[in-house]
């Protein structure tokens, strides 16, 4: 089977999973438990938002035609109140932010732009036009409009939206169960003291955290030993879940038995090698109607291949419609070079440019000179170097067709 490029492999995952996603299960979740879940229904506005012409500022409700000039203050209106009279030319009502604009008024003059003359007169030298500092009724949403479409992932703003339309719960897609199977005689449980030639099972727990963040329910299986019999037993157990992740055992070594076991189970392999580093021997396939990923066993390889391939599959099995990767651009703080031919994902430290203004930081992913964050490759000892991975907050993404970058060049990054 020919090796795929990073782009080809990712497109393969999206195409195959989208084309085979079954009827997804749904359930009801309340506002305390539905964060990060995927909506299985459209959420609509229960009324116009705002439901009245709303003042955007503390100030005075006026007729724009009266200004600049002086007007007589005839009352006050606060949020939650409605002024009982219509405002006529030459009149004003003191108004608070969020309050309904009195009938007759067509603009709000900000309080800091006014001069008081006693208790009943204000003046300003500023001209106003109708609509100034007013949010018209329905400008945010009309009654019945879709505010959150089905397939949206619920973040904190979405929770606010649900609460604002009176929804104490929502119909969401059930979280897919994701089996995690680590393989290898050298792996021991984290509660055990490893011998000199053993390592603790860190991959299962890092994958569990990644699965949870992606919206799945992690199911950690016992460690599979390097025999076809034991591996097959646990693989069959894992295929009872909605998706299976295998860590290790997918390289070309004598005791790497995962692909052989999957072949014996009648698996279809969509790819078994990708032109990336780390993670070249990544495997993606389907067996017993369930998708599986064989992720290389080195920690960085496992983490990277999960993020760029398996995370999207979990999203689709969760009902998500957006499976895009959080790529951005950053400026290198030092020269960087690599051997072309592979897309490389290397640990890196991302930080704001020194002295960047708030507006520059807000535009930090825009490829404009001087406005991007800075990224520094982190020195590491290979894809088993977990301490180096802990110092990284991003992956530097090296173009397979470009060998050298100078300090200050823009380079792609994948937010960790």
In this prediction, residue 212 carries a pLDDT of: 96
In this prediction, residue 242 carries a pLDDT of: 96
In this prediction, residue 21 carries a pLDDT of: 83
Contact 89, 65 (CB under 8 A): yes
Distance CA 267, CA 292 (A): 9
pLDDT in tens, the chain (416 residues): 899 999 999 999 999 999 998 789 999 999 999 999 999 999 999 999 999 999 999 999 999 999 999 999 999 999 989 999 999 999 999 999 999 999 999 999 999 999 999 989 999 999 999 999 999 999 999 999 999 999 999 999 999 999 999 999 999 999 999 999 999 889 999 899 999 999 999 999 999 999 999 999 999 999 999 888 999 999 999 999 999 999 986 655 544 788 889 989 999 999 999 999 999 999 999 999 999 999 998 999 999 999 999 999 999 999 999 999 999 999 999 999 999 999 999 999 999 865 454 445 444 444 444 467 999 999 999 999 999 999 999 999 999 999 999 999 999 999 99
In this prediction, residue 251 carries a pLDDT of: 59
Tell me the three-class secondary structure of the chain, residue by residue.
CCCECHHHHHHHHHHHHHHHCCCCCEEEEECCCCCCCEECCCEECCCCECCCCEECCCEEEECHHHCCEEEEEEEEECCCCCCCCCCCCCEEEEECCCCECCCCCCEEEEHHHCEEECCCEEEECCCCCCCCCEECCCCCECCCCEEECCCCECCHHHHHHHHHCCCCEEEEECCCEEEEEEECCCEECCCCCCCCCCEECHHHHHHHHHHHHHCCEEEECCCECCCHHHHHHHHHHHCCCCEEEEECCCCCCCCCCHHHHHHHCCCEEEECCECEECCCCCEEEEECCEEEEEECCCHHHHHHHHHHHHHHHHHHHCCCCCCCCCEEEEEECCCEECCCCCEEEEEEEEECCCCCCHHHHHCCCCCCCCCCCEEEECCCCCCCCHHHHHCCCEEEEECCCCCEECCCCEEEEEEC
In this prediction, residue 226 carries a pLDDT of: 85
Domains of the chain: 6-25+175-317 (3.40.980.10), 28-48+140-173 (3.90.105.10), 54-135 (2.170.190.11), 327-415 (2.40.340.10)
In this prediction, residue 243 carries a pLDDT of: 98
Contact 185, 257 (CB under 8 A): no
Q: How far is CA 370 from the centre of its chain?
A: 26
* pTM for this model (two decimals): 0.86
Q: How far is CA 7 from the centre of its chain?
A: 20
């Amino acid at each position: 089977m020919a090796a795929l490029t990073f782009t080809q492999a990712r497109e393969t995952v999206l195409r195959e999973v989208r084309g085979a996603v079954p009827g997804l299960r749904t359930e009801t979740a309340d506002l305390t438990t539905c964060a990060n879940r995927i909506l299985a229904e459209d959420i609509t506005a229960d009324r116009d938002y705002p439901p009245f012409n709303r003042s955007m500022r503390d100030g005075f409700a006026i007729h724009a035609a009266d200004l600049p000039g002086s007007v007589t203050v005839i009352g006050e209106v606060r949020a939650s109140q409605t002024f009982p009279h219509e405002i006529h030319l030459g009149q004003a009502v003191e108004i608070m932010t969020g309050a309904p604009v009195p009938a007759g008024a067509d603009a709000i003059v900000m309080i800091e732009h006014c001069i008081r003359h006693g208790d009943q007169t204000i003046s300003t030298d500023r001209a106003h036009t109708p609509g100034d500092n007013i949010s018209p009724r329905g400008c945010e949403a009309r009654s019945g409009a879709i505010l959150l479409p089905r397939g949206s992932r619920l973040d904190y703003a979405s929770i606010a939206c649900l609460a604002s339309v009176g929804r104490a719960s929502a119909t969401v897609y059930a979280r897919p169960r994701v089996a995690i199977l680590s393989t290898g005689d050298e792996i021991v449980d984290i509660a055990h003291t490893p011998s000199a030639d053993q390592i603790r099972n860190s991959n299962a727990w890092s994958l569990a955290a990644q699965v949870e963040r992606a919206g799945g329910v992690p199911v950690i299986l016992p460690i599979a030993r390097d025999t076809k019999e034991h591996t097959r037993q646990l693989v069959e157990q894992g295929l009872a879940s909605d998706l299976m992740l295998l860590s290790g055992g997918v390289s070309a070594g004598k005791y790497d038995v995962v692909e052989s076991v999957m072949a014996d189970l009648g698996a279809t392999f969509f790819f078994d090698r990708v032109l990336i580093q780390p993670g070249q021997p990544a495997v993606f396939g389907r067996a017993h109607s369930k998708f599986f990923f064989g992720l290389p066993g080195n920690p960085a390889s496992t983490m990277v291949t999960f993020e760029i391939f398996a995370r999207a599959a979990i999203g689709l099995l969760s009902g998500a419609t957006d499976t895009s990767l959080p790529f951005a651009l950053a400026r290198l703080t030092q020269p960087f070079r690599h051997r072309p031919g592979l897309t490389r994902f290397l640990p890196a430290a991302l930080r704001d440019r020194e002295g960047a203004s708030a507006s520059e930081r807000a535009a930090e992913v825009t490829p404009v000179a001087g406005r991007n964050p800075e990224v520094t490759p982190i020195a590491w000892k290979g894809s088993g170097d977990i301490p180096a991975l802990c110092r990284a907050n991003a992956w530097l993404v090296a173009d397979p067709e470009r060998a050298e970058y100078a300090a200050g060049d823009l380079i792609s990054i994948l937010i960790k």
